[in-house]
Amino acid sequence: MTTTTTRPGLAARLTALTKVVELGPGRLDKKLLNESGALLQRAGNRLKLSSEHTVVALAGGTGSGKSSLFNALSGLELSPTGVRRPTTARTHACVWGLEGAGPLLDWLQIQWRHRFSRASALDKGDSQLHGLILLDLPDHDSIRALTDTEADRLIGLADLVVWVLDPQKYADASTHRRYVTELAGHEAVTVFALNQADRLTTEELAELVIDLNDLLRKEGVEHPSVVPTSAVTGRGIESLKSVIATAVARRRAAIQKLEADLHRLEQKLSQAMPLGEALSAPSTVDEARRMGLTDALCDAVGVPAVGEAMENVYAERSSRWVGWPYPRWVGKLRGDPLKSLRLDDVSEEIRGISTSSVSAQSAEVANAVQALADGLSMSMHPVWRTAVHQAARSRAGQLPQALTEDLAEVAPQLDRVPGWWRALKVWQYFLVVAFVAGLAWLAVGLLMPGQLPPSLELLGDTATLPWVGLMMASVLGLGALSGIASRNFVELGASRERERLEREMRRRVAAVAATMVVEPVERELGRHHAFYTALRDLSV
């Protein structure tokens, strides 16, 4: 047995069909998937079996003279012919060159008692048929369901089919409707034998041949091969043998049959899933759409609101530490602004803002996911568009809770006091002490001039009072300037803290979105792209 040499591209097309079958469940019609799987199995089995043998099946209806033609081609009375009701119940096989044909005949399920070999001196004139396995199939229009099924099975398995047509029923609907209309693209492995030509005059036969050719072309067989034959007179037997011998000698009928079957199946797949612009659809979620999804989810969970609240609270808390103390002390007489804002427990307030936002905006979360799926699947076949939406929503029910739990961990630590706040507070209280000391100096100098002991007489020296006043004014100016500067630094720090918080929250939202939305969607997009790439490779 030799290895089958397939034409370039057939192996790749079979690989592509395998990919289509692998990715098709849930997308392709189940009947079409089953047909594709059956073709792959049939191709795999046939290509593993003898490439030195060509399986030629004689198919036809009751009374077409098929068995007589089989006997005429084989030169022996191998298949019984009927008299009252000429029907073939079991498949008979005649093999020219039996060596290596056994596994192939087993695959065809030909019973041992119906196998015949041409391996004697009688075959010297038929050497061109060496490698031929000729099958006489059961009548396809038999009233026996068993034989009808067997005929259909072997018509599908044969490398080349010879349709034996009765001149009186050559346009029989059961043959044309069930078989001929499926032969488009199979011209290279299909022959039509217009049998029983002995019953017709030369003019009638010529007219029938023309009419049959026209009928076949209308049914999609572009280049039909029609051979008039007669098992009684032997007319056309050699011509039919020559056609069969050519196919046998080329050792390509099996490959041509698979190619034709692939072509027909590819047309069905293309009708079910038109290639069109399918490969222009995205195969991944691009960065712009990722950012758009993250933006929408951040709005849905209230990230800007949390950032704004944090910034306000940061500024309010700083007033306890920075700023000129005197205005702060005066402000305390008007009440605690934190209490008026209900911000006593700042961390819990911020945590409550983020938690309630996620719970309250679950509809917006769903809308964000829907918008992503819509944008990605716009140009897809409805089946694939639905699949992308299902993938996007596959974990949508868990998404709000996941965002809630993840963002709750990012609640700002507002009880943390920056070091520069503490340093500024020390400086400001130093200025307060200096101002109080100046007031005391002025009071002593003005109320007790010249009354202090020698060691403290400087305090009572009225000449120093202008300088003390200047010092006090300077202290007030420094305090005011440091208060203004501290407020500016506080605002800058609050803005930075807000940016840091929003950046961290956005990072976490993006990570959750990537895991629960983007990854399932990209798996479906990859499946879509791989499916249509395989479909394109199949049609090459």
Q: Give the per-residue pLDDT at 67.
A: 87
Residue appearing with tokens 């012919």 = 81
User: pTM of the entire structure?
Assistant: 0.73
Express each pLDDT in 415-461 by its tens digit: 666 766 677 677 777 777 777 777 776 666 666 665 555 545 555 55
d(CA 61, CA 139): 5
Which architecture characterizes domain 54-255 according to CATH? 3-Layer(aba) Sandwich (3.40)
- Please report, for the chain, how many H helices and E strands are present, in that order: 20, 7
Q: What is the mean pLDDT of the chain?
A: 79
d(CA 94, CA 19): 38
Q: Give the per-residue pLDDT at 419.
A: 66
Residue 336 has pLDDT above 60, yes or no: no
DSSP 8-state symbol, 508: H
For residue 114, name the pLDDT band (cuts at 50, 70, 90): confident
Asked if residue 404 lies in contact with residue 505, where contact means CB atoms within 8 angstroms, the answer is no
d(CA 284, CA 522): 5
Taking every pair of C-alpha atoms in the chain, what is the biggest distance, in angstroms?
161
**Half-sphere exposure of residue 230, counting CA atoms within 13 Å on the CB side?**
12
Express each pLDDT in 38-66 by its tens digit: 999 999 999 999 889 999 999 888 888 88
Express each pLDDT in 89-108 by its tens digit: 688 999 998 888 999 999 99
Cβ neighbours for 404, distance < 8 A, ≥ 6 positions apart: 301, 354, 355, 358, 359
Q: Give the per-residue pLDDT at 152.
A: 86
**Half-sphere exposure of residue 52, counting CA atoms within 13 Å on the CB side?**
14
Residue 444 carries which side chain, given as an amino acid letter?
Answer: V
The average pLDDT across 154-176 equals 80
d(CA 246, CA 319): 101
Express each pLDDT in 284-322 by its tens digit: 999 999 999 998 888 888 777 777 777 666 666 666 667
Planar angle of CA 111, 255, 537, nearest 5 degrees: 130
For residue 17, name the pLDDT band (cuts at 50, 70, 90): very high
Q: What are the residue boundaries of the structural domains of the chain, listed by start? A: 54-255, 287-327+348-529
